[in-house]
Structures are given as C-alpha cells and as structure tokens.
A and B are shown apart, each in its own frame.
Chain A
Amino acid sequence: MKKVKLLGTLCLLVAMTASVLSGCSSNAGQNGSSSPGDATNGSASDNPFKDHMEISVSWWGIGTGFAQRDDLLQKIEKDFNVTLKPMDIGWDNYKEKSQVWAAAGTLPDIITNALTSDQPATYNEWVNQDLIHALPDDLSAYPNLKTVMEVKGVEGINRDGKYYAIPRMTFPLSEIEAVWAVDRAFFVRKDWMEKLGIEDPKNFDEFNAMLKAFVEKDPDGNGKKDTYGMVMNTLGYFKSAFVPTFPEFGNNGWLKEDGKWIPFYASKKMDEVVVQARKLYQEGGLDPDFAVAKAGEGNQKFYQSKAGAFAFKSGSVLQSNGVRTEWEKNNPGLDFFDHVKIVHLWPDSEGNIYRQVNRPWWSETMINADVDDKKLDRILRIYDWLLSPEGKEVFDYGIEGKDFTKEGDKYTIIREKDENGQFIDLKKKYPSMDIISQMAAWRDASGIEDNEANRAAFGDKPVQFVQDEIKWQLDNAKPIPTEFDIQTLSTPAKDKLSAINFDDDFTRVILSKEDPVKMWHDILKVYDSKGLQQAIAEVTAEMVKRNK
C-alpha cells in the first residue's frame, strides 16, 4: 500500500515538474547550418551550390508569405540548394523583435531591419558588439551586389573600413528622382472643385479655403454638412502641405541656418508651419479625427466620398488595393480618373515648387556574425542574383515557360487571367513574390515603369496617369534641398536624438488650444534637455571637417 502511494506521488511529481520545466525548453539549435543528409564533405567542388544549407531569414509577414511554399520559393531553394527558414517580424514590432532576438542570441542568419536608415546608434552598437558579420572586402564575385555597395551615400555606413549591412535600395539610381516625385500626392475630388468653382490653390490660404469649402459648402449636394476636407493615410503624407512654407520639413532633413547645421525641427521656419497646421485643424479643413484614426482608416472617408482631399502617394493608383481600386469599389460605375485629380503644391515665396526626394535606401539586410564563410558566400550569391537582371525578369514576368515566353527581347505573357480579363497579379499567384522580390532591393520603381508587364497588370490609364505625374514633377518642381550625408552620420548626441518623436509633438501642437508658437517653443526646450544643442554642435563640427 505504501509503495503504491509512493509510486503515485512520484508519478504526479514527475508530471508536474515536467509541466513546469517545459516552459524552459529553448529553441536552441534551430540555427544549425547544414542538414547532414545532403552534406558531402571533402570533395573539392567548383560548384558553389554543392552543399545543401538551411538559412533562416526574417522579413515582415514572411510566415504567411512562405507558408504555401509556392513554385517561386521552390525555384529559389532548388537553384541555390538551400532551405529558407522563415522567421516572422511584423511592421509594428520588428524593432523590438530584433532587439529581443539579439539579446537572446537567436538572430536569424539573414537579418531584416532598419538600423542604418532609422537607428544608426543601434547599428554602431551591433557592429561594436560583434552581432553582425562584416561583408568581404572583395565583392568582385558578386558584381550586382558590388554596384549597390558603391552607390554614393553608402559609404556613410562603413565602420572602420568594413561594411556590415547591405542597404535595401529603394529603386535603381537612374530612377531615383522619378520614384520619389510620385511618393507624395494630394488626391482631390475634381468634380467637387468644379461644382464649387474652386481653382487649383496658388498659396496656403487658397489651399485652406478649398478644404474649408469641402466641409462647409456641401460638395456632395445631400443637404447635410457631413463631408470632410483633408484625410490622410498617415501623417507623413499630409506633411507635404507645409513644403512650400518650409521645404526641408517635407523629408525631415537637416539644413544650414545661421552657420549651423540643424535638424528641420530646430529651424525658425517651424513657427509658421505650426501656425498653418493649427489653422487647418481649427478651421475644420483637416479631418478632426486625424490623430485618433489608425493608419489607413482615413482612406475610407475619401473612398466613400466623404472627404474632398486625400494625402497619399501617386503610385497608389497602381496598387491592387490602392486608391483607384478602392475608390471605384465604393463608387460603382464611376471612373476614378474622371472624378479625382492630383492637386500639386504651390510655389514658395521665391517661386520654386518642391517635390519629394529622400535617401536612396530604406532598411537593410545584415548577416548574423555566427554565419560561417561558406554560408556567407551562399547568402551573398543569392543576393547577387536577386539584384541581377535575371532576378528582375522573374519579378516582373514570373517563371519562364509558366508565366511568360521570350523570343529575343519580346516577352509574351501567358499566365492566367481573372474574371475581368486582366492578367492575375503575380503577387497573388506566388505569395512569396512580395518577399523574395524585395529582399535585396525595394521594387518601388518597377511598379511605375511604363512597360508591357505593368500595362498588362494595371491597364493603360493608371500607367499613363503616373507617367504624366512624373513628367509634371520633373518638369516643374525641384527636389527638396537635402544633405544626405547627415542621415547616416553618427555622433553621440545626434544618436540620442532618436528619443525625440517629432510627429507626436507636432500632433499635440495641432490639437491643442494653446498658442501654437509658444507651445512649440516649449517643446523645443524639452528637445534641448534631450541634447539637441549638443547634437547641433557635433554635427556642425563634423560638417566643417567635410567643408560644408
């Protein structure tokens, strides 16, 4: 009897202890490099893809994108003899997740993050703490990758003579200006403007008056005061409205004022910007819910014909869930291009019109410091292919023989069509396309190119619309004066400025009832306590060294 009791107790004990400890099990070993079955050691190989490898990759939403293991993913894995192991990050938590992985020692082999562009301080720290792998000095085996690393501005992320990241270029350099030019736009209801007799605004007051008229003069003619002026996708798009007042405000740049290099928010011109922004809000032209709405919620008001103006990007007319598709979905039977147009920014006090321009890359690929030389070579080979013309062909047209055929330079698209007779979106056919095609470089430019692939996918009108907009911007507007060097410059106090959240403070000033200028100056005092003046001194000293 006693033995039974003891045995029973022990069994229970084991079960309980096991359940307690099961929480402790770690996923150690999941970064193991090569799968043993395929590895054939020793044989000197001229085939660099001989050994099979497992490579872990992090990317936004890669879990769902890779879940189907579609043909495109399988092609890449077969071509490079690898298994890609997805490690998911989300848009709203990728910074935190990388930090946690770094602290826990479970960073993937291929790390996706935005340190070089957004958090140079963390980039320095990761380099100093040996978390990330230096790229080989000689990149001649990877010619396409080499070109990227030689782009002007990239030298800013060089640390002690070595590169630790592959910047994710936003687009081919030849098209840099074109793509940024259509990265910001105010879509405005053309029919409402005509009905209310409003011309394109020629200064801020006319712009404000137009938005006010959308609110007050019942542009949809339903007898109710239920329309809005300006709605936005996110605050960043709306900020263009102040570019004529203060150009550098438009891309959060640094500028030289009174002999010192200062971040845009330290400029004297901010006073006028906060006054104008407050005016837009107070007089009703700006959506009163702009600060409470989550990203993308404002769009709905425009799509549902409740708002007259919408701050977003011109390229959105080409997206499958972009402004044109959504607007037409909500307004059945109406043609987007008959009812909506882009209202351009007005000239500044000196008669110049400015257009958006920004650094050539956003975010980057880093490679785990624990990756061995063989795996590093394999990863760089994959990246070289992703950046090559052969890679671009796959991303533009799909898999040869399945999605297109080619004779010389002539492409024939043979992939399936949807019920409307349009070719189905490659991104829908291959869920991994969105990820694989953008791993090495954003493909923002490919969408706005005037080519067969795009005309087939989007139709002629939207492609022409974007081409016209690019032409207008390049002909009429100048790029915002921008000192790209400073963006990757890292000094102790400048790195600490990342603690400043300008957008939050700007929003606060817009919403408040206090005097905007006084409030703004109080905020600047808080910025000073975070080391703003020190950062200005350090950056100015550094720029003097560079003769700027």
Chain B
Amino acid sequence: MNKTLGRSIIKNRYVYLLLLPTVLYFVLFQYVPMYGILLAFKEYKIKAGILGSPWAGFDNFAQLIAQADFWQAFNNTIIISLGRILIEFPAAIILALLINEVTREKFKRVYQTVYTFPHFISWVIISGILLNFLGDSGVLNQLLVAFGFDKQAILTNPELFRPLLFISNMWKEVGWSAIIYMAAIAGINPELYEAAHVDGANRFQQLMAVTWPSIRGTAAILLILAVGQAMNGGFDQVFNLYNPGVYKTGDIIDTYVYRTAFSDGASFGVTTAIGLFKAVLNFALLYAANYIVKRLGGEGLV
C-alpha cells in the first residue's frame, strides 16, 4: 500500500507539486493560527504573547458561564438558527422548484435575476432601507395612519424582531441560495421527464418523482452545512438591525462578544473561550446532522 502510494506520488510528481501551494495555504492560514486557541486557557499578556502568557485553566470558561447575558445570547442564537433552518432553508428549495416550472426561458431569467439581486446589497444599506420603511416616520406607519390605525414600533418590538430577521434574510438571500439547486435541476437527464410523461405523470407528479429525488442529495448536504453554522446566527444581519430594545430576543453570541470583547482590555481570553465553545458545538452539530442524514439513507459529507 505504502509502496504503491509512494510510486504513484513519484509518477504524478508534477501534479502533486501543483497541489503544494494549496496545501501550504491551508497549513499556513488555517492550521497554524489555530494555536491561538490556547488563549482560551490563558490569561493573555500582550508583551508575553500567546505562548508566553500564563495558563488560567478553565477560568475563562467559568467567567463566561457566570454571565446571565451570555445565556440569553446563547438561547437566542439557537432559536434564530433553528428558525433559519426551518423557515429559510426550505424557501430556497421551493423557489428553485417554482422557477424551474416556469416554461418561458425569458421569464425564468428575469425571475432569477430579480430574486438574486438583493444578495449584493450589504446589510448596512438594508438596515437604512428598513428604518425608512418601518421606522416611526416610515412608509408603513404613514400608511397605517392614513387608514386610521395606530402606529407600530416594529423595529424596537422584541416579539417582531425574529420574524423581521427571517423575512429580511429571505428577501436578501433566497435567490442566491436557490442557484445551487437550480444547477442541480439543470443536470437532470431530460429523458427521465420524457419517461414520466409517457407514463402519464402530470407536472406535480413529475416534480415529486423526478426533480425532488434528484436534488435531495444536494439539499441534504446543504442542510448538514447549515446545521454546522447553527451557532453563528448571522452576525452581519443582526448587528445592523438590532437595538437595545430587542436584545431580549435578538442578541446572539457573536453580537454579545462584539459588545463585550473590547470594553474590558483583559478579555481576549474570554472571547477566545467563546469562539472555541462555539466551534466545538458547531462541530458536534455538524457531525450529528451528518450521522442522521446517513442513517436516513442519504449521502453525508464525511
């Protein structure tokens, strides 16, 4: 085995040589910086550097767990991520299937462009748009007043914040996420549809019997990846849309870390501890999802 591997490397040495820079990249920029994780168990001293700082055991983690706000952020992160998987994740599949059913090629393109475009607008700009739209003097409230209703404080209402996150993120990202499914759909052999047609399947039956099974594998892999991101919760979006009024339902781990990290100079250790905590949980979730998908007969990642 070893001999054959060695021989194959020698035989394909140029190809392996070409692979080297990529491997080097991963080692240098992904694996080497990992030693920074040590900070989670250290009391960081700037002059001493990461390796020279004294060990602190699990003090950083203990500090973290003692903070009431951290657990609020933790719960919010899980709930928001779960919501994203339940609500936003299927939306992209449904959109891809729907666009696929549009028969006129021209309309198909138009729809695809329209849905994809918001992906390129940054959250900073979207938050400005939303303030103008949903704020107290915004369009929506002006309409409400014009029809004789009371104004609504939508942006500061903790109960509405999570739906706001889901809806705005769907508006922004659904078209972009659908692309990968549409690519999978485009790869389906047309003969399958023809055969189904000959068997008398209508369009809905074709969708269920041909299209969906063909993209199910893709969906499973994307689902595993989405679960692996569950502890992230979307910093960019939350950070730009939230305000103190909605911390109760909207503050996620990343925004919490951002707010607390630099207020106290000694907290490099604690924030690294949070990062490590998140990474370990993400890893566990990824594996669990992978395991479940495999058990259900799908193809996993690993």
Q: A interface vs B, CB < 8 Å? A: 5-6, 9-10, 12-13, 16-17, 19-21, 23-24, 95-96, 99, 102-103, 119, 121-122, 125-126, 129-131, 225-226, 287-289, 291-293, 301, 306, 495-496, 498-499, 501, 503-505, 507-508, 511-512, 526, 529-530
B20 at the interface (CB under 8 A from A): yes
Within 8 Å by CB of B263, from A126, A131, A501, A508, lies A501
B69 at the interface (CB under 8 A from A): yes
- Which residues of B lie under 8 Å from residue A24 when comparing CB positions? 28
- Which residues of A lie under 8 Å from residue B262 when comparing CB positions? 95-96, 99
Selecting from B77-85, B215-223, B229-237, B239-247, the interface stretch reads B239-247
- Which residues of B lie under 8 Å from residue A9 when comparing CB positions? 14, 17-18
CB distance from B30 to the nearest CB of A (A): 12
Q: B interface vs A, CB < 8 Å? A: 14, 17-18, 20-21, 24-25, 28-29, 45-48, 66-69, 131, 135-137, 145, 151, 153, 155-156, 243-245, 247-248, 259-266, 268
9 A-B pairs with the lowest CB-CB distances in the bound complex, closest first: A122-B265, A511-B245, A16-B21, A507-B244, A288-B136, A504-B244, A129-B47, A289-B136, A508-B244
User: Among A6, A21, A226, A511, which residue has the most Cβ atoms of chain B within 10 A?
Assistant: A511
- Which residues of B lie under 8 Å from residue A5 when comparing CB positions? 14
CB distance from A242 to the nearest CB of B (A): 17
Query: B21 near A20 (CB under 8 angstroms)?
Result: yes
Query: A20 near B24 (CB under 8 angstroms)?
Result: yes
CB distance from B22 to the nearest CB of A (A): 8
User: Among B20, B21, B153, which residue has the most Cβ atoms of chain A within 10 A?
Assistant: B21
Query: A292 near B156 (CB under 8 angstroms)?
Result: yes
Whether A12 touches B18, Cβ cut-off 8 Å, given contacts A17-B24, A508-B244, is yes
Task: Tell me the complex Cα distance, A9–B7, Å.
Answer: 20
Task: Tell me the complex Cα distance, A487–B196, Å.
Answer: 79
Query: B247 near A508 (CB under 8 angstroms)?
Result: yes
Task: Tell me the complex Cα distance, A19–B263, Å.
Answer: 37
Within 8 Å by CB of B145, from A23, A119, A225, A508, lies A225
- Which residues of B lie under 8 Å from residue A13 when comparing CB positions? 17-18, 20-21
- Which residues of B lie under 8 Å from residue A504 when comparing CB positions? 244, 247, 259
CB distance from B53 to the nearest CB of A (A): 10
Query: B153 near A288 (CB under 8 angstroms)?
Result: yes
Query: A529 near B244 (CB under 8 angstroms)?
Result: no
Could you tell me the dominant secondary structure of chain B's interface residues?
A: helix
Can you give 16 A-B contacts (C-beta < 8 A)?
A5-B14, A19-B21, A20-B24, A122-B266, A125-B266, A131-B47, A226-B137, A293-B131, A499-B263, A503-B244, A504-B244, A505-B244, A508-B244, A508-B245, A508-B247, A530-B67
| Nearest-neighbor residue (CB-CB) of A95 within chain B | B262
Query: A129 near B46 (CB under 8 angstroms)?
Result: yes
Task: Tell me the complex Cα distance, A131–B46, Å.
Answer: 8
- Which residues of A lie under 8 Å from residue B268 when comparing CB positions? 99, 103
Task: Tell me the complex Cα distance, A129–B54, Å.
Answer: 13
Whether A498 touches B264, Cβ cut-off 8 Å, given contacts A13-B17, A504-B247, A511-B245, is yes
Query: B265 near A125 (CB under 8 angstroms)?
Result: yes
| Nearest-neighbor residue (CB-CB) of B128 within chain A | A294
Whether A291 touches B136, Cβ cut-off 8 Å, given contacts A20-B24, A129-B45, is no
- Which residues of A lie under 8 Å from residue B66 when comparing CB positions? 529
Q: A289-B131, A292-B155 are in contact. List 19 more A-B contacts (CB 8 A).
A: A9-B17, A13-B21, A16-B21, A17-B20, A17-B21, A19-B21, A20-B24, A96-B261, A121-B264, A121-B266, A288-B153, A289-B135, A289-B155, A495-B264, A501-B259, A504-B244, A507-B244, A508-B247, A511-B153
- Which residues of B lie under 8 Å from residue A99 when comparing CB positions? 262, 265, 268
Task: Tell me the complex Cα distance, A10–B14, Å.
Answer: 9
CB distance from B76 to the nearest CB of A (A): 14
- Which residues of B lie under 8 Å from residue A301 when comparing CB positions? 137
- Which residues of B lie under 8 Å from residue A507 when comparing CB positions? 243-245
- Which residues of A lie under 8 Å from residue B247 when comparing CB positions? 504, 508
Task: Tell me the complex Cα distance, A131–B48, Å.
Answer: 11
CB distance from B70 to the nearest CB of A (A): 11
Task: Tell me the complex Cα distance, A496–B260, Å.
Answer: 11
- Which residues of A lie under 8 Å from residue B135 when comparing CB positions? 289, 292
| Nearest-neighbor residue (CB-CB) of A18 within chain B | B21
Task: Tell me the complex Cα distance, A19–B29, Å.
Answer: 13
CB distance from A45 to the nearest CB of B (A): 34
CB distance from B223 to the nearest CB of A (A): 33
Task: Tell me the complex Cα distance, A287–B29, Å.
Answer: 48
Task: Tell me the complex Cα distance, A501–B263, Å.
Answer: 9
- Which residues of A lie under 8 Å from residue B244 when comparing CB positions? 291, 503-505, 507-508, 511
Query: B69 near A526 (CB under 8 angstroms)?
Result: yes
| Nearest-neighbor residue (CB-CB) of A224 within chain B | B145
Query: A20 near B25 (CB under 8 angstroms)?
Result: yes
- Which residues of B lie under 8 Å from residue A103 when comparing CB positions? 46, 268
CB distance from A309 to the nearest CB of B (A): 16
Query: A499 near B28 (CB under 8 angstroms)?
Result: no
- Which residues of B lie under 8 Å from residue A130 when comparing CB positions? 47
| Nearest-neighbor residue (CB-CB) of A5 within chain B | B14
Query: B265 near A121 (CB under 8 angstroms)?
Result: yes
Task: Tell me the complex Cα distance, A246–B63, Å.
Answer: 34
- Which residues of B lie under 8 Å from residue A511 when comparing CB positions? 153, 156, 244-245
- Which residues of B lie under 8 Å from residue A17 when comparing CB positions? 20-21, 24
| Nearest-neighbor residue (CB-CB) of B142 within chain A | A226
| Nearest-neighbor residue (CB-CB) of A511 within chain B | B245
